[in-house]
């Protein structure tokens, strides 16, 4: 019986560069229990987004394995179990706020009414109840970021991957958004991996890990 939700096992990622190959990740290991929450910090270019993309099955490791529930079937399970909050929000410009949020729920049309109610509740939770029919182009950067967070939560994922989810927000809005993520973690039991440069946000996670020289090091709070 495997108790871990997510296992990242000796993962390497090598990109071809102008001066030869670059090993961005050099043997990353990470184990997350259900309802675990970790922050990942590290300098710009250290590979934080790369690692999140691999966990989110948007790219494949050069070497190593990533398992969900001890199984290497992450890609099949992505839509149902993973919520991805991108560093760049990737909202669809032709859809309004409510429609954007509902995109991941389209695979399960049986529960559409439930999804709409859940979407409205979450959007209200981040202060966007008055923006439901706006297109992304008419929103501020911070509003778009909040929409992308709600979209990632719409299917009640078991694992939420957030790449600098508060990068475009002021401190108050960032705090409110982290409140929502922490609540999804503590109440819905979703595991969280949050990439952030903000120390006060990282400190709200159970563990803080730092990517340095292609490896993940644990760091004590404080």
Ligand X SMILES: Nc1ncnc2c1ncn2[C@@H]1O[C@H](COP(=O)(O)OP(=O)(O)OP(=O)(O)O)[C@@H](O)[C@H]1O
Pairing, β 37-41 against β 159-163: unpaired
Residues within the interface to Mg ion (CB under 5 A) = 48-49, 87
Give the nearest distance from C-beta 16 to ligand X in angstroms.
7
Q: Which is nearer to ligand X, 8 or 119 (CB)?
A: 8
Shortest distance in whole angstroms from residue 62 CB to Mg ion: 18
Least Å from the CB of residue 206 to ligand X: 21
Residue 15 interacts, among Mg ion, ligand X, none and using kind-specific CB cut-offs from 5 to 8 Å, with: ligand X
Please answer whether residues 214 and 25 qualify as being in contact, where contact means their C-beta atoms are separated by less than 8 angstroms: yes
Of 27-35, 43-51, 102-110, 134-142, which part binds ligand X (CB under 6 A)? Answer: 43-51
Query: Which of residues 44, 93, 113, 172 is near ligand X by CB under 6 A?
Result: 44
x-or-dash string of contact with ligand X, 63-92, rule CB under 6 A: ------------------------x-----
Q: Which residues, listed in sequence order, are joined to residue 23 by a DSSP beta bridge?
A: 14
Site size with ligand X, rule: CB under 6 A: 11
Nearest-CA neighbor of 83 among 159, 13, 196? 159
Binding residues for ligand X (CB under 6 A): 15, 24, 42, 44-50, 87
């Amino acid at each position: 019986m495997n108790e871990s939700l997510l296992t990242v096992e000796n993962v390497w990622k090598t990109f071809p560069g102008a001066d030869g190959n670059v090993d961005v990740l050099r043997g990353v290991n990470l184990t997350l229990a259900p309802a675990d929450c970790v922050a990942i910090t590290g300098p710009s270019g250290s590979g934080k987004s790369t690692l999140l993309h691999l966990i989110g099955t948007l790219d494949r490791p050069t070497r190593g394995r990533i398992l969900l529930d001890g199984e290497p079937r992450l890609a099949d399970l992505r839509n149902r179990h993973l919520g991805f909050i991108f560093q760049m929000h990737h909202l669809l410009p032709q859809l309004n706020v409510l429609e954007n949020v509902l995109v991941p729920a389209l695979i399960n049309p049986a529960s559409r009414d439930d999804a709409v109610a859940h979407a409205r509740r979450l959007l209200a939770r981040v202060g966007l109840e008055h923006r439901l029919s706006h297109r992304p182009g008419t929103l501020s950067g911070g509003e778009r970021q909040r929409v992308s967070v709600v979209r990632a939560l719409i299917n009640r994922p078991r694992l939420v991957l957030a790449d600098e989810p508060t990068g475009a927000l002021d401190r108050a809005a960032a705090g409110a958004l982290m409140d929502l993520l922490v609540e999804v973690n503590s109440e819905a039991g979703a595991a969280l991996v949050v990439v952030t440069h903000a120390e006060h946000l990282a400190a709200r996670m159970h563990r803080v890990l730092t990517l340095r020289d292609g490896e993940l090091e644990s760091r004590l709070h404080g």
